[in-house]
Amino acid sequence: MNATTQDAMLQAIGIIKDEHQSMGAVLKGLQAHLEAVREGRDKPDFPLFHAMFDYIETIPDRVHHPKEDEYLFRLLRMRTAAADIILDELEGQHKVCATLLASVRKAMCAYRESADLAGFERSLNAYAEFLWEHMRKEEEIVLPLAEQHLTGEDWEAIHAAFQANRSQAW
C-alpha cells in the first residue's frame, strides 16, 4: 500500500469511528435526559426525543449502515472468508435496526400516554446496548480484519463513499 492509499485507509477508519461516536453521543444524551426526568431534575422534552430518533433514522440507519454493507463489508467478503460469520451477524443487525428503533418510539408514545417511564427507559437502554455492542464488534473485529485484507483500491472506494457522508448533517 502506498502513502496515498494508506492515507485513504486511515481517513476511512477515522470517519467510521467518528460516525459511531456521534451515534453513541446521541444515545447517551437521550439516556441522560431520561435519567434526569426519572430523578425529577427535568421535564420530558418530547420534541428532543423526536429530533433524536429522526436523526438516528435518517443518518445512521439510512446512510451509515448501508455504506458499511455496500462498501466495507462487501469488499471484505471479496478478499477473505475469515470475516463471513461476523459480517453475517452485523448485516443481520443492520436489517433490524429500524424495527428496534420503531419499538423505542412506540415505548415513548406509551410513556406519553400512560406515564410508563420505566418501560420507555428499558426499551431505550436495550436499544443503546444493542448498538454499542454492534459498533464495538465493527471496530474491534471487522476493522482490524479489513486492515489486514483490503487492498489500497478497496480503501479508496470506502473512503470516497464515507467522505460523501460528510456533506450530510452528522
Contacts with Fe ion, residue ranges (CB under 5 A): 65, 68
Nearest distance, CB of residue 19 and Fe ion, angstroms: 9
Please, which residue, 33 or 65, has the CB nearer to Fe ion?
65
Please, which residue, 91 or 156, has the CB nearer to Fe ion?
91
Nearest distance, CB of residue 90 and Fe ion, angstroms: 6
Please, which residue, 68 or 121, has the CB nearer to Fe ion?
68
- Specify the 3-state DSSP secondary structure of 61: helix
Q: How many CB atoms lie within 10 A of CB 103?
A: 12
> Taking the alpha carbons of 110, 44, 136, 157 in that order, is the dihedral positive or negative?
positive
Task: Determine the Cα–Cα distance for residues 88 and 138; give it in Å rounded to an integer.
Answer: 12
Copy the grid coordinates of residue 71: 462498501
Please, which residue, 68 or 154, has the CB nearer to Fe ion?
68
Copy the grid coordinates of residue 54: 429522526
What is the rounded radius of gyration, in angstroms, for the C-alpha atoms of the chain? Answer: 18
- Contact indicator for 51, 108 with CB cutoff of 8 Å: no
For residue 80, which phi and psi values (nearest 5 degrees)? -155, 155
Please, which residue, 56 or 108, has the CB nearer to Fe ion?
56
- What residues contact 23, with CB distance under 8 A and at least 6 apart? 56, 60, 64, 131, 135
Nearest distance, CB of residue 2 and Fe ion, angstroms: 29
